[in-house]
Amino acid sequence: MARGSFGRSVARAAASGGSKSYRARRPAAWYASMLAVVAVGISLVVYSRNERLHPAIVGPTATDNWQSALAVDICGVVQPNLAANPNLTAVGIRTFGNGLVDADPGAVATGSAAYEGANATLGKFASSYPGFTLTDSRLTLPVKGAKTYSNGDRCAAAAGSKAGAGTLVAKVWASPTSAGRLITSGITKIHLANGEMITVAFVPAGASIPVPSSRSALLQALGTAPVSSTTAAPAASTTTTAPAASTTTTAPSKTGKG
């Protein structure tokens, strides 16, 4: 074939865009991927709008009454339960002296929002209790003559406890049956959740931190305490004696002589 004829053939092929069978094929996979991208994008827009219009509600609300167990461990010695708040009716997060923290924002006549949602924290409870000081590094119990414990203060060895420089930490159990997790910072920001257990501890690193002894009280408050089974004594059998049948004796008749 002459050079000119070959060049013209190539030009005609290029102008035609390939064979008819090639032109008939459609890139289905490409269209499907584009549709998937568009669908995902629409879904994300709808989801974000819904989240903005209907944000998740973080409890407790003014109509909730949540219970959490609380204990304080100082150098391996668990302290007695905090006494009932001296300002019970003035705060929405308080204790009645039973080892439980009562989060009840609606208990206050005004200002319940200060105890609701994200404001319901361990730090809020401490600041609502006169004389109770709690930070990430310092602890003072609301007891007359109580010592202030700060990070680095030494713990003497008590029975079954470690000696050494103490650090303020907290151990949190999400429920009475869950595993605990250690909190080493942001202690005052721990959110109070219904059924939660918290032990605030000033102890040397690696010390064992116990579950609050008020766990049983928490179970009772949650209505999940095990019910002890009792076996009723069998009722005493009653025997009724039928009355004895009466016996009638008939006197023999007398026969007269003629």
- Digit-coded pLDDT (tens) for 9-21: 545 655 555 555 5
Residue 118 DSSP label: G
- The DSSP code for 162 is -
Summary mean pLDDT of the chain: 81
Enter the tokens of residue 8: 């013209």
Phi, psi of 238 (to 5 degrees): -110, 125
Residue 47 has pLDDT above 70, yes or no: no
Its sign, for the CA torsion 194, 200, 205, 207, is negative
The number of beta carbons lying within 10 Å of the beta carbon of residue 141 is 21
Average pLDDT over residues 216-245: 59
Position 34 in a domain = no
Mean pLDDT of 221-249: 51
Which pLDDT belongs to residue 197?
98
Q: What is the pLDDT of residue 74?
A: 95
- Rounded Cα distance, 53 and 218, in Å: 36
The pLDDT assigned to 257 comes to 41
Alpha carbon distance 122, 197 (integer Å) = 11
Q: From 135, 150, 246, 112, select the one nearest 188 (Cα to Cα).
A: 135
Tokens of 171: 């151990």
Please report whether residue 252 resides in a domain.
no
Tell me, yes or no, whether 241 lies in a domain: no
Domain that holds residue 170: 66-221
Domain assignment present for 235: no
In a domain, 61, yes or no: no
pLDDT of residue 61: 95
Asked whether residue 41 is domain-assigned, the answer is: no
| Model confidence, pTM | 0.68
Q: Is residue 98 part of a domain?
A: yes
**Rounded Cα distance, 13 and 60, in Å:** 75
pLDDT band for position 54 (cuts 50, 70, 90)? very low
Domain count, the chain: 1
| Residue 126's pLDDT band (cuts 50, 70, 90) | very high
Is 81 a member of any domain? yes
pLDDT over 80 (residue 45): no
